[in-house]
Amino acid sequence: GAGVSQSPSNKVTEKGKDVELRCDPISGHTALYWYRQSLGQGLEFLIYFQGNSAPDKSGLPSDRFSAERTGGSVSTLTIQRTQQEDSAVYLCASSLWQGNTEAFFGQGTRLTVV
């Protein structure tokens, strides 16, 4: 596609429910990143994919968080048993490869856990 697409744009869920956030990167981009932005804060790295593998998932805050990428394209970030502290904007970015090229960001998913 023309840009990085994320869905849903906004998600409200009840505490304890599972949620799935989707990221569709720019076509041909092999590197994909997930970041979390809490209210008024900077971006916190979660996980990085090169193709379908995740060489760096050190930023995932707990085992309730997981992510996968299939076909070297779409990625899904899953949060199980959501907690109120999971409320944040989840941003996805992609780049041609994992080197020095520009990372293009999507518009994020605003997750609110009530």
Partner 1 sequence: AQTVTQSQPEMSVQEAETVTLSCTYDTSESDYYLFWYKQPPSRQMILVIRQEAYKQQNATENRFSVNFQKAAKSFSLKISDSQLGDAAMYFCAYRSAGTSGSRLTFGEGTQLTVNP
The reply to whether 65 sits near partner 1 by the rule CB under 8 A is no
At closest approach, how far in Å is the CB of 36 from partner 1? 11
Q: 32 by DSSP, 3-state: which?
A: strand
Footprint of partner 1 on 11-40 (CB under 8 A)? 31, 33, 35, 40
Q: For partner 1, which residue of 13, 50, 52, 76 counts as binding (CB under 8 A)?
A: 50
Contacts of residue 51, defined as CB under 8 A and 6 or more positions apart, other chains included, come to: 30, 69, 72
| C-alpha–C-alpha distance, residues 86 and 76, integer Å | 16
Footprint of partner 1 on 92-111 (CB under 8 A)? 93, 98-100, 102-103, 105-108, 110
Residue 23 burial class via C-beta count within 10 angstroms: exposed 0-12, middle 13-18, buried 19 and up: buried
Binding site for partner 1 (CB under 8 A): 31, 33, 35, 40-45, 48, 50, 55-56, 59, 89, 91, 93, 98-100, 102-103, 105-108, 110
